Structure 1
Amino acid sequence: MGDIFRYVPNHAEIGVGLALKDEQGDYVFVLAGTRHKFTSNELFYAGIGGHLEQGEDLPSCGKREAMEEIGAEVHIQCSPANPVYISRDKEIRTITMADECKPLAIYEMIHPSGSPREGEIYYIVIYLAKLISSPGDLNTDEVSGVITMKKEQVKKGIFRRATLQTLMDEGARLIARSPHIQPDVIVYPIGTAEALSYYLIHIEKHHPYS
């Protein structure tokens, strides 16, 4: 785990999220499956990823989750710069790590109200990654679709709830889907997708030429 434990408490709930891009440089997210459908016409989108298993290293977790969630292979990429830490209050600071392969960010996600661990922190370690095979069969209970978004769309994520049709009109693409997804469904980001919105806005503000 290296320097990660300097920033994540021992015995904390830890997961990996992927800032995953396709060959065109668009970000790849999953649309929530049927068991996550909280209202009749809303779905969240999230980065591919999940809980770290005992004895597993972080990059391996990201690769495993990609195969389990969308049936695709990914290549984990090391961040060329020091990671940022995004707190539960959305305060963002740069942190230093000696790890050979640095993550992009650490995000303090708060479990939503009504969930079993309401109010507790889930630490998501976010890695850059590239999609190297096409998504396969989806477990529609967990994932109802795979969508790509332009950088500008990802940045807007925390400010709006948009219909799937609106996103596609702007250039998003559904590269895998289940038949029940309708174009008028309203989507919004959680977890890694939300963190990337904050991250991209922060980088543009503080490092406009990066």
Structure 2
Amino acid sequence: MTETHAPLKLVVLISGRGSNLKAILEAIDAGELPAVVSAVISNRVDAPGLACASERAIDTLVLDAADYPDREAYDHALQGMIDLFKPGLVVLAGFMRILSPAFVHHYSGRLINIHPSLLPELRGLDTHRRALEAGHTEHGASVHFVTEELDGGPVIAQVRLPVLPDDNADTLEQRVLEQEHRLYVTVIQWIAEGRVSLEDDGLHFDGEVLDAPKQLEAA
């Protein structure tokens, strides 16, 4: 008998176009992802991704950092807003803010991010240009639990693809982005099914300690 789980409640944080949000919503619509997006929150009122949620009658909220004196005050307000929806998982989908330690601690084991590099390589911004300048032959994306260390939390899964001889930063970004969508949906599905968790002794997958990130084949 197949074990069933209640849909995992998600709150998704965005700053821009929301392409990973769209991929998540499309997977839910198709019955491929046992989750529900309870709210989408942005730090930018003009984030195009908000429209994608509004079209599905999902609550959309904007929290402008200019209205708060510092990062800690902003994150405290953001935490209060998120907690109204009682999510099982908070999903960073292009949310371009560094989060305070108190915020990260509050959501420990329930906060994930997708990063466009093969972590721990190329933490931070502008990863595609940096990969090319460093002469990397492989590039990709990683999904990780968020900790206080920037882009440094335990990596759940990665997808790799070759850097092509004629790649530039734009073409490499587009190729990685296409793989990000499938990677993020897959990891959220694992979490929704109870297959992935962050425990005191590290990352667990199917009840066993995961010593290295799971690797997805590039589509």
Q: TM-score range by the shorter chain?
A: under 0.3
Determine which structure has the larger strand proportion and give its number.
Answer: 1
Name which structure has the greater RCO, CA cutoff 8 Å, separation 6+: 1
The normalised TM-score by structure 2 is 0.26
The normalised TM-score by structure 1 is 0.26
Determine which structure has the larger helix proportion and give its number.
Answer: 2
